[in-house]
Amino acid sequence: MVAESAAGARAGNGYFVQSVARALSVMRSFTAERRTQTLAEVARETGLDRATARRLLLTLADLGYVTSDGGHFELTPRVLELGYSYLSGMSLPEVAQPHLQALARELNETAALAVLDGDEIVYLALMASSRLATVKINIGTRFDACTTSMGRVLLAGLPEAELEERLGRLQLQRRTDRTVRDVQSLRAEIDKVRAQGWALVDSELEEGLRGAAAPVRDRAGRVVAAANVSVHAGRTTPELVERDYVPVILRTARLIEADLISAVG
């Protein structure tokens, strides 16, 4: 529904091709929680009428991006081609990987790197730990930025006008009892991240999951990514994460920055 309304808001632009926007909204309606969907579910998630959603799904199926058993639709691995050129052309994941490996090894926890894409974060690099099995995360996994430590770091790095625009249209979804419930509270958390230079999110994305993150900046000082460590809340406290984990994450982010600047310099 949000995707369709956003597309409608831009439809007045002379260059805007609404059919492309609608097709992309259909593809984005599939998530880790909605790997397969019926026609009715796709229509509901995108805000499209059933006839339009059906034509788009069948077109995507003809192109090889969607498969169907007659009643349910599912994305195919071919969708990965759409992001391959972007990911393969980036030095950031390659630069970050050895530092994430060192971070994960030092803390014996899951370490990751993500960027901001719309209102979501996208995982670009990951060193998973067997100690964190509650959340399935892979390269390309997306989560709402507002409920994650990396997301809040990335939101805090936005220019003020862009942040205000995003917060003005944001629709918060409650994932757990601890998920931030209103935009004012989220804004306060983002201001806190800006002031201290790192973020800590406790059981807002998933109950029992605690994450801390730090920004990764480019040569111009712009926040281009976030590095984080995710831990099970039963093994830590927020105070322990701040004392023992955050300094290591901050150091890792600085090392990634240094290598990134050298790689693109």
Position 239 in a domain: yes
Q: Could you read off the pLDDT of 130-177 as tens digits, one per residue?
A: 665 556 678 888 888 999 999 999 999 999 999 999 888 887 888 788
Task: Note whether 110 and 9 are same-domain residues.
Answer: no
- Sequential DSSP letters for 39-73: HHHHHHHHT--HHHHHHHHHHHHHHTSEEESSS-E
Let me know whether 250 and 165 are in one domain: yes
17, 51, 78 — which closes off a domain?
78
For 31-72, what is each residue's pLDDT tens digit?
877 889 999 999 999 999 999 999 999 999 999 999 998 889
pLDDT value for 2: 45
85 domain-assigned: no
- The answer to the question of residue 20 being in a domain is yes
Structurally, the chain folds into a number of domains equal to 2
CATH of the domain at 52: 1.10.10.10
| Cα-based torsion angle of the residue sequence 53, 55, 56, 60 in order, rounded to the nearest 10 degrees | 140
- The predicted pLDDT at position 79 comes to 83
Same domain assignment for residues 116 and 230: yes
Q: What range defines the domain where residue 13 resides?
A: 2-78
Do 16 and 137 lie in one domain? The reply is no
- Which of 17, 52, 78 is a domain's end point? 78
Place of tokens 């998530």: 31
Give the pLDDT band (50/70/90) at residue 109: very high
> Does residue 70 sit within a domain?
yes
Are 124 and 188 part of one and the same domain? yes
Same domain (yes/no): 139, 236: yes
> Where is 186: in which H helix or E strand?
helix 183-196
Within a domain: residue 84? Answer: no
Per-residue pLDDT reduced to its tens digit, 14-26:
788 999 999 999 9
Same domain, 74 and 97: no
CB 199 within 8 A of CB 147: no
> Residue 139 belongs to a domain with what CATH number?
3.30.450.40
Specify whether 50 is located in the same domain as 94. Answer: no
Residue 88 has pLDDT above 60, yes or no: no
Residue 115 lies in a domain: yes
Judgement on whether residues 48 and 163 belong to the same structural domain of the protein = no
Segments in the chain forming alpha helices (H): 2-10, 18-28, 39-46, 50-63, 80-88, 92-107, 149-156, 160-169, 183-196, 238-240, 246-264
Of 78, 107, 129, which residue constitutes the final position of a domain?
Answer: 78
Bridge partner residues of 217 (DSSP): 223
- Residue 164 and residue 50 share a domain: no
Q: Are residues 108 and 194 in the same domain?
A: yes
